[in-house]
Structure 1
Amino acid sequence: MYEIFDSNDLRYYYDLQSAAGITPNYTPGKFDFLGEPEIAEQLLEFNDGRHGIINLYIPTMHCSSCIWVLENLQKLAPGIVQSQVDFPKKTVRITFNTDEVSLKDIAILLARIGYEPTISLADSGRKEKTEDKKLIYQLGVAGFAFGNIMFLSFPEYFEVEEFWLEQYKVLFRWLMFAFSLPVVFYAGQDYLISAYKGLRSKFMNIDVPIALGILVLFIRSTLEITFDWGSGFFDSLSGLVFFLLLGKYFQKRTYSFLSFERDYKSYFPVAVTRIDQQGREEIVQVNRVIKGDRLLIRHGEIIPVDGVLETGDAEIDYSFVTGEARPVNITKGEKLFAGGKQLRGPIELLATENVSQSYLTRLWSHSVFGEKSESKFKTLTDRIGKSFTLAVLTIALVSGLYWAFTDPAVIWNVVTAVLIIACPCAIALAAPFTMGNMLRIFGKRKFYLKDAVVIEKLATIDTVIFDKTGTLSTRRYDQIEYEGNELSPREKSLLKSTLRASNHPLSRSLYNMLKEQDITVLDSYEEHMGQGLYGSKGDASIKIGSSEFVDNCTSATPDKSVVHLSTNEQYRGHFILHSQYRDGVSQLMSELGEQMEIGVLSGDHEGERNRLEALLPNLTPMYFNQSPEDKLFFVRSLQDSGKKVMMVGDGLNDAGALAQSDVGIALSEDINVFSPACDGILDASKFKFLGTYVDASKQAMRIVKISFVLSLFYNLIGLYFAVTGQLMPVVAAILMPLSSISIVAFTTLATNWAGRKIK
């Protein structure tokens, strides 16, 4: 790497950050599929035959030196014209000359310098989403009009009788009318449309009284300036729409660098190697694999389709699909399932299904993934909308009838004043500002929610279901037991020296256990992929690994993670490795157990049952060997019994349950790598604080309810002026913005205070 940087005048890299980056680990042939023009064309954002643009995801990007190297790629490959990094999204956008450098060459270059791109089936045919800026434009229009209308209204407020102001009063009023037009028919159009759709569906949502207030404000104000009755309420109208849009914008703020809608395509490769009848290898797109195809799966590759093992030794890691932590050894003629990762050299399989009909893709085609839970969930604001609308209309009708017999001349003023002042602007602002601010606080604490509705759902949860592997436990091991003959110091030294050269997770766990042992230089060392390690020094030799690999092994422990050991061809014993559970699991379970029901669903074996029982409250239900469909149906059965369920998982095996649950939370060691479709992503380091997030959600709902009470107080004051026929423009101009600003201030301060308790 130094030679590459030195020859291209990039040595400044080493001044940016010491020990930056990772060790490159490029596997030859890994990006051969990018040499296929048809595949490359689907991945490119732009290609005119001379220049191409590709946007690549670089998961290892982590610091300023990474940015510096990736934005200087043109010095490493002459065909690259420009490269631009989006650090929050961990992507690099590369413009290159297709005649001088290919997409395959770029991927290989990035892999060799330690920035291997992740390219999945989800990238194929993906088009860059354009950000919808309509809300920003609407907010800008409303804010601009609000400021100018307030400025033009000042002489009316204070009844200034200066000559030139009197001369141009009519002009000022019509200017206010002109400014109000885009506010009503552009900035406020979503409220009018929503109210219309609600009434058409015979449902009174909160937008109905808001739309009624906007229209009455506009119509009455227009009539007042037309017949010279007064200056109208254009300031209150523009202020109302501005604050409503501000609340909506605040609530819609989310995390653009995260994806909450990922499916199996984000995990599958773009292409795979197919072997034809003549034995020739060809690269084809995954979507074109059909039943009967013979496929070559190399070490570390994902199996894209269900099939039968034809040749080779298969050791498959299904943890991402089933949750089972232990690799599964498959022999010739046995079934292989899509989504597993091959861990032991190359294998050949015969596809028994099309990609679209494989087990994993059938799971993803379940109806639960097409449902929109938001359509079934009505927020608190929507639930009070009908009652509030009926109350406002009733007050307006009763007031009108009263004044019809008392003073018919003021009926128009009273009825319209009631509809204006009772507009639920403060109620409509309470939830957006409370939830929006809580979203921001959660984000700072590494808990990222899809939208504000999830907070309201969290507050209703009464049952929590946890996955085990990767959720309650990490994929590392912390407790190791040795069963067998005692090892001599020389054997321990040989064992540690042999383990030292391996990067397998089990090897690293055992190596860390032998901290006190000396290290010796081995005469020979061999690593048999997926089987074990061999090392020798002088006349002593050692084997560590599976029971099939180790000499004279007769021990069987099917429900545990075990590493066997022999020295000089004599079996010595085995190490039993127990899962490492996350910090604070027991405390979290105790906290949640006091408030709601909890349970564990695991695709893993029952070997950890006893350890789990010690961590969980008494009588906590635990279910093992659960398939992804089992988890989904279990969650559904709880919901059918009236439970509000939160599912916490980490992989594809939990995807169905996460989608089915009322709130699905994906736990992630790295928020930028794959996580299944979910409502929220929780950083694994904050797992033990999950209970505080649920409590904070409940506090947020209490804040919203208190805000509704305050808003009702303002409405009662305003209604007094309206019903008695005393509503003046200056009163409306003061009361409506005051109620909105005070509600915003209260919700912001209250949520910040509640957020201080979140760690």
Structure 2
Amino acid sequence: MENKTCFHCGDDCGNHPITFQEKSFCCNGCKTVFEIFNENNLTCYYDLQNSPGAVPKEIEGKYDFLSEEKIIENLTEFRSDTIEIVTLYIPHIHCSSCIWILENLKQLNTSITDSLVNFGKKTVRVSYSPKTTSLKQVVILLSSIGYEPYISLEDYQTEKKQVNRSLIYKLGIAGFGFGNIMFLSFPEYFELNEYWLEQYKHLFRWLMFIMSIPLVFYSSQDYFISAYKGLKAKILNIDVPIALGISVLFIRSTVEILFDLGSGFFDSLAGLIFFLLVGKFFQQKTYDFLSFERDYKSYFPIAITKIAPDGSESSIQVYDIEKGDRILIRNEELIPVDAILINGKGKIDYSFVTGESQTVSKISGDKLFAGGKQTSGVIELEALKSVEQSYLTQLWSNDVFNKNKDDGFATITNKISKHFTIAILFIALVATMFWIITDISKAMNVFTAVLIIACPCAIALSAPFTFGNLLRIFGKLKFYIKNASVIEKLAQIDTVIFDKTGTITSNKSSNAIYDGELLSDTENLVLKNSLRGSNHPLSRSLYSILKEHNIVTLDTFEEHIGKGIEAKHNDINLKIGSASFVGNPQETNVLNTTVHISSNNVYKGKYTFYNSYRKGVSKLFNKLKKQFDLVILSGDNEGERENLKKLLPAKTKLIFNQKPEDKLEFIKYHQSEGAKVLMIGDGLNDAGALAQSDVGIAISEDVNVFSPACDAILDASKFKELYAYIKASKSAIKVIKWSFVLSFIYNVVGLYFAVTGQLAPVVAAILMPLSSISIVVFTTIATNLIGKKLK
């Protein structure tokens, strides 16, 4: 009786398979999983990959510990009455079917609202309603369909990196096999015809064959798996020629010793696999180092206000927060750390974390989670732990916020290497046909050498290593970029748009003069506390200028983006903002930036600001004018037009009285005309414009501006270096193009020797990783030189 394989997991069903709907299963567990998928119309799971599942394990009583409140608290990253979020490590994730089913968990359990897979980290982030399900039920569901999570309660929230040692094992086996096969090949190399060689050569050849089996079927399996998945998806990826080369060498060598035609090419095969893995190991280690530098050393300069025991306030960087610190969160500021609400009324928007923009009301004593945004005035918190910078980076870099900008954007690597594999396969086949006709003994060597020598690894590596290294360098120089594609987009821009207030002007050195009816002590108290709750640059400037007042909790606080603030305390209702917002349409003086005030709908007066522009603004614009169209897009009035005309180049467009939506539409229109737009502004009023632009940069100056809308955060102290950063991005593209040229030259030279039959496969295998390593060294040195120029 012919044994059948399990439709779900692919294991041998033995002599007694379980049959259901004309399909064979190895056990009831696999049959049950299929039934679950079938009942929920999820059998597409099997269309994406044959036998993709794992055998579900016995789970009865295994996860009872997940009912304990303290354990749930430790494992979940966010909890509220309506939603809980947990990230689980799933070791079995291995293919497109896994991603598909794990991102469709809500069809298996309607209480699950969302699930997102990170294939590289083998994790799934699950959001679910605690009212109708629990963490234990989610984990049981995952286990029941063959995706049992790995749960470690010790230091779980530090998210320790799972170390994948499989490459080390494969490299070790390949090294052992290569060394021994080369040793066994020496007698044949030296053509020793003594009696003992004639007697033992067959034994040596079969030993080489046996040693090559684990090399082909274990050490090199990743290349075969990748090639198979690519072909299944109708894509010729870079592993197809490698897998073909290994297969040809192994099959031909096996045929030779089987029919006693020769000793085969097991030495070349072993060398090929060993040197391929050495190159892969080097690449992985180098990229891990770049990732480490990026994730844990590049702290972007988000500031937070710390309240000292004596009540004084000072700005510190978020990663200086310690457990027990009292911190102040203003309107529209992000909560950077899990904390307890001490004072004020919390109205928290957790859309960064949950994807839902509905606000949650909180009162004193409630726990608030990192990633929430306060949307109604000022609150004071007590930190429960220090900041996990990697968590903030994760929020900022969430793919959800990148989708629109990345749609239709083709990377330089995709453009250049798109048809590379097809070309190489064509050359290999033509060259092989030629040698079959002229000298068949060289045909297989030529075919294998061409496939290996022309491996496009060098092309594939140049962009990741160049951009990865530049991300690290930029981070150290206080320019914090979300991801590598931002550098590529930055190199393509032709239009630079600046906001004025808080962008080209400095909040720290501004001064203001009050003109109007004097405010009462109570009104001054409400004014000071209203400004305390706002993150707008003018609010922050005015707050620092006014004298100290007692801190009170406002009854109501509402900030109208682009217009002003409305706040109430006891019987005082204060409006602070533009003339039209506070009810003074007669305002005619547009000579300076002004902030108007009304109390209980009675106009009181205005503060007139005298802007202080950042150092180096004029030099920066003069550098930019040679290559870019320059625009000042300001929400303020035209009072500064004459000053800006004197300060900035003549061709700079100056556009005033722009609401946030006007800025967005201005950028959208110019993009429709073909412009590549860079927008520089604050992360509050300019969020829409930053999101619409091709690249959006938020300026950070003692402000907790943390928005998914921006692609980069620039420390205000480095504002004058903006041109140098853009120039460095363009230089990075040049480095990648030069590395492509070097790779092309290498391939042309290598292909010449391979096609003419002058290159052995093992030599090609040594040269291939060497070419990759040389490209990595070239890009690293080149980007470090770019970094030195920046410094």
- Asked whether the two chains share a fold, i.e. TM above 0.5, the reply is yes
Partner SS state of residue 435, structure 1: helix
Give the one of 201, 213, 217 matched to 1:181: 217
Q: Match of 2:466, as an amino acid?
A: T
Partner SS state of residue 757, structure 1: helix
Superposed, 1:224-235 pairs within 5 Å as: 224-227=252-255, 228=257, 229-231=264-266, 232-235=268-271
Q: Match of 2:475, as an amino acid?
A: G
- Alignment length (residue pairs): 517
Q: Match of 1:598, as an amino acid?
A: L
Distance 1:452 1:736 in 2: 26
Shift of the 644–286 alpha-carbon distance from structure 1 to 2, 3 Å rule, reads: closer
Distance 2:232 2:473 in 1: 35
Give the one of 564, 583, 593 matched to 2:615: 583
1:391 aligns with 2:423: yes
1:642 aligns with 2:670: no
1:561 aligns with 2:601: no
Q: How far does the alpha carbon of each residue in 1:373-399 deviate from its partner, in whole angstroms, 9 at most, with x for none?
A: 334222222112234234323322332
> Could you say which residue in structure 2 is the equivalent of 1:436?
468
> Could you say which residue in structure 2 is the equivalent of 1:743?
775
Equivalent residues of 2:346, 2:362 under 8 A apart:
no
Equivalent residues of 1:435, 1:455 under 8 A apart:
yes
Give the one of 202, 215, 233 matched to 1:197: 233
Distance 2:624 2:578 in 1: 41
Displacement of 1:756: 0.5
Superposed, 1:121-200 pairs within 5 Å as: 133=162, 136-137=164-165, 139-141=167-169, 143-145=171-173, 147-152=175-180, 154-155=182-183, 170-172=206-208, 174-186=210-222, 189-190=225-226, 193-194=229-230, 196-197=232-233, 199=235
Distance 1:646 1:547 in 2: 28
Distance 2:174 2:272 in 1: 8
Displacement of 1:219: 0.4
1:217 aligns with 2:217: no
Equivalent residues of 2:401, 2:708 under 8 A apart:
no
Distance 1:695 1:157 in 2: 55
Shift of the 747–555 alpha-carbon distance from structure 1 to 2, 3 Å rule, reads: closer
Shift of the 608–741 alpha-carbon distance from structure 1 to 2, 3 Å rule, reads: same
Shift of the 456–591 alpha-carbon distance from structure 1 to 2, 3 Å rule, reads: same
> Could you say which residue in structure 2 is the equivalent of 1:255?
295
Shift of the 241–195 alpha-carbon distance from structure 1 to 2, 3 Å rule, reads: farther
Partner SS state of residue 631, structure 1: helix
Distance 2:348 2:596 in 1: 38
Partner SS state of residue 647, structure 1: strand
Distance 1:194 1:445 in 2: 40
Structure 2: segments with no counterpart, 5+ residues: 1-64, 79-155, 258-263, 302-330, 352-357, 365-372, 380-398, 517-523, 533-538, 555-564, 568-575, 580-585, 598-603
Distance 1:531 1:375 in 2: 39
> Could you say which residue in structure 1 is the equivalent of 2:685?
653
Displacement of 1:128: 6.4
Q: How far does the alpha carbon of each residue in 1:166-219 deviate from its partner, in whole angstroms, 9 at most, with x for none?
A: 7656435543441443443347745653565363xxxxxxxx352222211320
Q: How far does the alpha carbon of each residue in 1:27-77 deviate from its partner, in whole angstroms, 9 at most, with x for none?
A: xxxxxxxxxxxxxxxxxx9982467746999xxxxxxxxxxxxxxxxxxxx
Q: How far does the alpha carbon of each residue in 1:635-687 deviate from its partner, in whole angstroms, 9 at most, with x for none?
A: 22222211222222321432333233222223223697623333222222222
Distance 1:525 1:656 in 2: 35
Give the one of 485, 502, 513 matched to 1:453: 485
Distance 1:414 1:236 in 2: 14
> Could you say which residue in structure 1 is the equivalent of 2:446?
414
Displacement of 1:612: 3.1
Displacement of 1:711: 1.4
> Could you say which residue in structure 1 is the equivalent of 2:406?
374
Displacement of 1:478: 2.8
Displacement of 1:528: 13
Q: How far does the alpha carbon of each residue in 1:347-405 deviate from its partner, in whole angstroms, 9 at most, with x for none?
A: xxxxxxxxxxxxxxxxxxxx995734334222222112234234323322332342243
Distance 1:286 1:577 in 2: 32
> Could you say which residue in structure 1 is the equivalent of 2:766?
734
Distance 2:660 2:185 in 1: 66
Partner SS state of residue 473, structure 1: coil
Partner SS state of residue 594, structure 1: coil
Distance 2:781 2:249 in 1: 35
1:756 aligns with 2:783: no
Q: Match of 2:643, as an amino acid?
A: R
Q: Match of 2:656, as an amino acid?
A: F
Distance 1:415 1:230 in 2: 13
Distance 1:546 1:747 in 2: 51
Q: How far does the alpha carbon of each residue in 1:512-557 deviate from its partner, in whole angstroms, 9 at most, with x for none?
A: 9xxxxxxxxx9x999999999xxxxxxxxxxxx9999xxxxx9985
Shift of the 259–511 alpha-carbon distance from structure 1 to 2, 3 Å rule, reads: closer
Shift of the 50–753 alpha-carbon distance from structure 1 to 2, 3 Å rule, reads: closer
> Could you say which residue in structure 1 is the equivalent of 2:7?
none
Partner SS state of residue 695, structure 1: helix
Q: Match of 1:448, as an amino acid?
A: Y
Shift of the 370–750 alpha-carbon distance from structure 1 to 2, 3 Å rule, reads: closer
Distance 1:177 1:597 in 2: 62
Equivalent residues of 1:650, 1:666 under 8 A apart:
yes
Displacement of 1:758: 0.8
Partner SS state of residue 653, structure 1: coil
Equivalent residues of 2:275, 2:766 under 8 A apart:
no
Equivalent residues of 2:593, 2:609 under 8 A apart:
yes
Q: Match of 1:643, as an amino acid?
A: A
Superposed, 1:179-578 pairs within 5 Å as: 179-186=215-222, 189-190=225-226, 193-194=229-230, 196-197=232-233, 199=235, 208=236, 210-227=238-255, 228=257, 229-231=264-266, 232-240=268-276, 243-244=279-280, 246-247=282-283, 249=287, 254-255=294-295, 267=334, 342=377, 371-479=403-511, 560-561=593-594, 576-578=608-610
Equivalent residues of 1:188, 1:241 under 8 A apart:
no
Equivalent residues of 2:177, 2:270 under 8 A apart:
yes
Percent identical among aligned pairs is 40
Shift of the 139–663 alpha-carbon distance from structure 1 to 2, 3 Å rule, reads: farther
Partner SS state of residue 666, structure 1: strand
Distance 1:284 1:680 in 2: 27
Distance 1:225 1:172 in 2: 10
Partner SS state of residue 455, structure 2: coil
Distance 2:740 2:487 in 1: 17
Q: Match of 1:48, as an amino acid?
A: E
Shift of the 142–437 alpha-carbon distance from structure 1 to 2, 3 Å rule, reads: farther
Structure 1: segments with no counterpart, 5+ residues: 1-44, 58-126, 200-207, 274-280, 300-337, 345-366, 485-494, 513-521, 533-544, 549-553, 565-570
Distance 1:294 1:433 in 2: 41
> Could you say which residue in structure 2 is the equivalent of 1:48?
68
Task: Give the RMSD, CA atoms, in angstroms.
Answer: 5.3
Distance 2:216 2:456 in 1: 20
Shift of the 420–574 alpha-carbon distance from structure 1 to 2, 3 Å rule, reads: closer
Partner SS state of residue 410, structure 1: helix
Distance 1:662 1:626 in 2: 20
Shift of the 394–623 alpha-carbon distance from structure 1 to 2, 3 Å rule, reads: same
Equivalent residues of 1:664, 1:678 under 8 A apart:
yes
Partner SS state of residue 789, structure 2: coil
